A and B are shown apart, each in its own frame.
Chain A
Amino acid sequence: MNVWYTEDHSPGVRFSIKLERHLYSGQSEFQKIDILQTTEFGKVLTLDGLVMVTEKDEFIYHDMIVHVPMATNPAIKKVLVIGAGDGGTVRELTKYDSIEQIDMVEIDQMVVDVCLEYLPQTASKLTDPRVHLYYEDGLKFVRNKENAYDLIIVDSTDPFGPGEGLFTKEFYGNCYKALHEDGILVNQHESPFYSEDALGMQRAHQRIVGFFPVCDVYQAHIPTYPSGHWLFGFASKKFDPIQDLDAAAWNALGLTTKYYNTDIHVGSFALPNYVKEQLTDVE
């Protein structure tokens, strides 16, 4: 059998993964959901034909979206996760005994149900007693919260389709309002490399900058995302991700991580010049 899954990474670039089996295909109210069994990347979740997580490289994304803010402020107790239907972000958060409550808001229950069945590697901790699942629009949920969270993680799809509302000024403003006075907002920040992704990345940065005194961007290498070069946004009312990092304290927790460590934490905020330029252009 010689069947390949192919995704357009830009109008002129394609990325292909060899398939073994198509395990699941369904259409929810919001998007098309597929689970693929691949030779190289294990099981893969795609939404509307775009790779969201693979068993082989999901650890990079989930380590970086969770441990960077958690190491910056170890006192975080109440977390809101928006999107993240695969459960990987929640899995990393549950490693911290100090977290008391995790509210997860995913618009599409079908994504969660499919991941619980096919991707236990990421979804296994969604049943943790500290986790409260809400199946509703993230923008609507956060609009009704005020001074309620220490950390908001926006683990969204791309800025078109169901995730559109999570890249808007009204959303970031509402997140600001929903955070405590020392709150942190971390978001999936698209890629600086291909021009369409870069435009989404710049727009996201432009819209966050107005609200938070600390507004940084950090990076990781994620092989199955377009260009592999991916960014995260770190916006905060008080904590600086490098100055306030207490590496010894985090290391003393003894958590096992496959990608994140406190050196990478600091290093990931060192950005290439072309990315710096894209960011300062919109500040």
Chain B
Amino acid sequence: MTELVKSASRPVGTIDTDKWEVQFRKGCLELAILATLWDGKLYGLEILRRLEVTSNLMVSEGTVYPLLSRLKAEGALDSEWVESEAGHPRKYYRLTSAGRQRANAMARMWSEFSSNLFSLISPLLKESG
């Protein structure tokens, strides 16, 4: 009952879209990580910084490392340790051939999905603009 009262007092749409945005951003993360590695090998922090700079995907850093671990276990990524000038080793990730195929398929699916959805939502954007 208390929860019902709380949810009734919330500004309409704010909470729902916040949750949706979080899920949406997280849903894109796997593709985004594979895309950052398309041009070559990167270590964890470089992947995170590239995500922040190029895609504005503000993700929890704690989410990315277990995801990298899973992608490696699934054979989409390969990794190697490289000694850095900072004095500690860094784990570099690169796409495997299976990972490249997967990234490619995901990118095509994403592109098709977003263009279809855009034609559907474009009237909404005109109205709000």
- Pair from one complex: no
Chain A residues with a Cβ under 8 A of chain B: none
